[in-house]
Amino acid sequence: MTALRSGQLADAAGVNPQTLRYYERIGLLTPAERTLGGHRLYAPEAVTALRVIKAAQRLGFSLDEIADLLDLGAHRHGRREPGLPERAAAKLAEVEAKIDDLGVIRDTLRRALDAGCDDLLACAQRPGCPLPFTDLADEGNTRGDVCC
């Protein structure tokens, strides 16, 4: 209903006031208007917008991607650009890949713990070490070669 001052919006959304200016700078959240003196005035919906931004960020979208997503809905379905469902599906695939990758890392750490390795450099030179030095270099690898 009543417009919000930047400090009120920041409080309501739980962010730093400077963050609002930052979001404005990168084109993510523009105040509805200004007072005569130049103070920003935000519509109450800005609180929702900020929550959406924070939720999307948490889902793994970058601020750039979020700006895109918000624009998609706001103006122009000019098409030939992927919509929200397509982007969410792509992000889902990314997240799943990341989970798999972390699974490999978790298993590797477990093996290192089981092996009772206590000196990285010494261990690295002995056969039987569970740390796959060459493999780990490029991610997305699921084999578990023997090493230290």
Contact positions vs its own copies (CB under 8 A)? 14, 45, 48-49, 51-52, 54-56, 58-60, 69-70, 72-74, 83-85, 88-89, 91-92, 95-96, 98-99, 102-103, 105-106, 108-110, 112-113, 116-122, 124-125, 131-134, 136-137, 139
CB atoms within 10 A of CB 24: 14
Query: Least CB distance from residue 8 to DNA, whole Å?
Result: 6
Q: Which is nearer to its own copies, 36 or 121 (CB)?
A: 121
Query: Least CB distance from residue 37 to its own copies, whole Å?
Result: 29
CB atoms within 10 A of CB 71: 13
In contact, 5 and 41? CB cutoff 8 Å? yes
Q: Which is nearer to DNA, 102 or 146 (CB)?
A: 102
Helix axes 45-58, 6-13, angle to 10 degrees: 40
What string of DSSP letters covers 46-92? HHHHHHHHHHHHHTT--HHHHHHHHHHHHS---SSS--HHHHHHHHH
CA 148 to chain centre: 34
List the single partner that 1 binds among DNA, its own copies, none, CB under 5 to 8 Å by kind.
none
How many CA atoms does the CB half-sphere of 115 hold within 13 Å? 21
Q: Is 44 in the site for DNA (CB under 7 A)?
A: no
The binding track of 3-42 with respect to DNA, each residue x by CB under 7 A or -, is: --xxxx------xxxxx-xx--------x--xxxxxxx--
> Which parts of 59-88 interact with DNA (CB under 7 A)?
62-64
